[in-house]
Structure 1
Amino acid sequence: MRTSFWGALGALLATVIALWLFQGLTGNTGFVLSLRAKKLAALMLVAASVGMATVLFQSVAQNRILTPSIMGFDALYLLVQSLALATLGITGFVTLPAGPKFLIETAVMAALAVALFGTLLGRGGGRDIGRTILSGVILGILFRAGATLVARLLDPNANAVVQSVSFANFSRPSAEALGWAALVALPAMAAALWLGPRLDVMALGRDRAVSLGLRYRAMVLAALFLVALLTVAATALVGPVAFLGLIVAGLAHGLAPGARHRTLLTLAALLAALMLVGGQWAFERLFGLKATLSVVIEFAGGLLFLTLLMRGKIR
């Protein structure tokens, strides 16, 4: 892609960031800026994590209609949260230090994701799209049903804690989880970019990739491991985000058709950041929080998913 395109995209993102940080700045500016800066960092981290995780997952599945959320990653995270709450109780769950809690959740999530989705996608990729989507939807339903069952066995106060992490909230990202999420997500992003050339080979299909010397199974598991890390980081900060990744991955492929994975990963991260920061600025400054950004994103993403499915644009 041309340097001018990257420059224009970077300038647009910088403009939106400046508007969001400095517009309406009054009172104790230092305190307000520090709060906005933390929120901005969380939104940027969530955007990059979701965008890159979706591109990685679509490369593993060899299909552009699948996302981690559609395949049940977010539901798996909620199940892990519910089980942890049931095991530790409200006091133990709430008082558990953010660092150990986040690292334990990440380890469990990554292990389960690699075990479940590695078996599903590692052999044939996403060539049988109907079977792959159906399997992912069934797994998602199973995880959500498990989380609901565990929640119903809890008392109402504990159930309220589970519900608080069940929906995306871009207005109040978790500040205490930000540092730990960055500690997990940033190395995962760097690893994804480093694996870019191997992802390019994997995208050729299992047979071609193996003939070129790629250890296909190991590459699938490595990519799914990174997807799990990025998904946990994003979900821990704002909650489950179902369709943001589908939108930005589709835009990235549309703006850079046939591009290498390093380009696609970077472009998806920047587009997601522009969408989240710009959208949050519009809803906070222009609409006075009379609507919710997550609802708009989910609605638009759902329409895009149905459109892609009906038109058969699954490759």
Structure 2
Amino acid sequence: MDRALFWLAALALIVCATYLLWGLGGANWRFVLGLRSVKLAGLVVVGTAIAVATVLFQTVSGNRILTPSIMGFDALYVLMQTTLVASLGITAHAQLPSSLSFAVEVAVLVAAGLLLFGTLLRRGAQDMMRMILTGVIFGILFRSLSSFLARILDPNAYSVVQAESFASFSRIEAGLLPLGAGLCLAAAGTALALAPRLDVLALGRRTAVPLGLAYDRLSLGVLTLVAVLVAVSTALVGPVGFFGLIVAALAHSLTTSARHRALLPAAALVAIVLLVGGQTLFERVLGMGATLSIVVEFAGGLFFLWLLMRGRVK
């Protein structure tokens, strides 16, 4: 076992225990512990999903500064929320069963990903850049449609859309966690089982194909896992853009091995430490509940710019 994995796992346990037990006391400690446990489970699921999806996407694309959000998943989610509010109204939108909304959102996001990946990779994984550019174009289209629909909404409905357009780690619902955790566990477990093949896939098409790897089929399968993981995290908390970039970069820096059997767990553990630790800081120390996502996006954007500048220097 990589020493870095051991220390990351220990740190993750300490951070999770701190989040659960800090300030716990009084007559209602069981009720408070139950609420914290739900939020902690949600943070672990979302962090794992984002981390594994980002590492997988970077492996397939062969680029360490890309994240799955570039494919337009976040923009499609915002478009779905805007369309629902515009067509149903605020009251009907609020009365939608959360389990039904979650299932529909996951299904639509996964179907869109499979349609995009399956169509554009039909001629082989050499079309990877064309697929990424198409995802960027679709993201711009979805954002434009969302902006157009938002212009016809009244201020109250628009405020609902705005609230849904940003990630909120404090609105995770307990009823959605079993399905979300099951999908995340299945996708992450499959990725870990494919770790030896992913190591070969990361070498690139020219090297992997002569080694006997079914490159095109594996690429499509990995992108399917990415679509499932991104759909789960987005449907649970909303769009999260740059967090995966930070997590993947830290995982690469902290692990001594480039093998996915160590890289995938390391990324998941880093994500758990950052999310749970950040939520603990904002809730317990600073007394703020909904600021973490803004800080994550701001830090991720700066980190993305730093990576681009460093690439130019080299």
- TM-score, normalising length from structure 1? 0.88
Kindly state the Cα deviation for residue 179 of structure 1 after the two structures are TM-superposed: 2.4
- Select between 278-287 and 35-44 the one with higher mean Cα deviation: 278-287
Distance 1:290 1:158 in 2: 23
Q: Which residue of 1 aligns with 2:260?
A: 261
Q: Which amino acid in 1 is paired with 2:223?
A: L
The residue aligned with 1:232 is 231
Q: How does 1:234-253 map to 2 (within 5 A)?
A: 234-253=233-252
Q: Which residue of 1 aligns with 2:309?
A: 310
Q: Deviations over 1:237-256 (max 9, x none)?
A: 22111111000100111122
1:182 and 2:181 correspond = yes
Does the Cα contact within 8 Å between 2:117 and 2:131 map onto a contact in 1? no
| AA at the equivalent of 1:104 | V
What is the 5 A alignment of 1:37-52?
Answer: 37-52=37-52
Q: Secondary structure at the match of 2:222?
A: helix
Asked if 1:74 corresponds to 2:74, the answer is: yes
Q: Distance in 1 between matches of 2:208 and 2:131?
A: 20
Residue 7 of structure 1 corresponds to which residue in structure 2? 6
Q: Give the equivalent residue in structure 2 for 1:296.
A: 295
Cα deviation for residue 307 of structure 1 reads 1.1
Alpha-carbon distance in structure 2 between the residues aligned to 1:30 and 1:16 = 20
Map 1:199-214 → 2, pairs under 5 A: 199-214=198-213
Q: Supply the distance in 2 between the matched residues of 1:119 and 1:26 (Cα, whole angstroms).
A: 55
Instruction: Describe the superposition over 1:8-58 as per-residue Cα deviations: whole angstroms up to 9, x where unpaired.
Output: 222211111111111111330000000000000001111101100100110
Aligned length: 311
Alignment correspondent of 2:107 = 107
Q: Matched residues, percent identical?
A: 56
* Deviation, structure 1 residue 145: 1.4
The answer to whether the 8 Å contact 1:125/1:206 transfers is no
SS at match of 1:211: coil
Amino acid at match of 1:199: L
Cα deviations across residues 76-98 of structure 1 (Å, max 9, x unaligned)? 22223333444555455433333
Alignment partners' CA distance in 2, 1:271 and 1:185: 17
- Aligned-partner SS, 1:124: helix
Query: For structure 2, which runs of at least 5 residues remain unmatched after alignment?
Result: none
- What are structure 1's unaligned runs of at least 5 residues? none
Distance 2:171 2:110 in 1: 25
Residue aligned with 2:241, SS:
coil
Residue 161 (structure 2) pairs with residue 123 (structure 1): no
User: How many angstroms apart in 2 are the aligned matches of 1:31 and 1:73?
Assistant: 36
Q: Normalization by structure 2: what TM-score?
A: 0.88
RMSD: 2.6
Name the SS of the counterpart of 1:214 in structure 2. Answer: coil
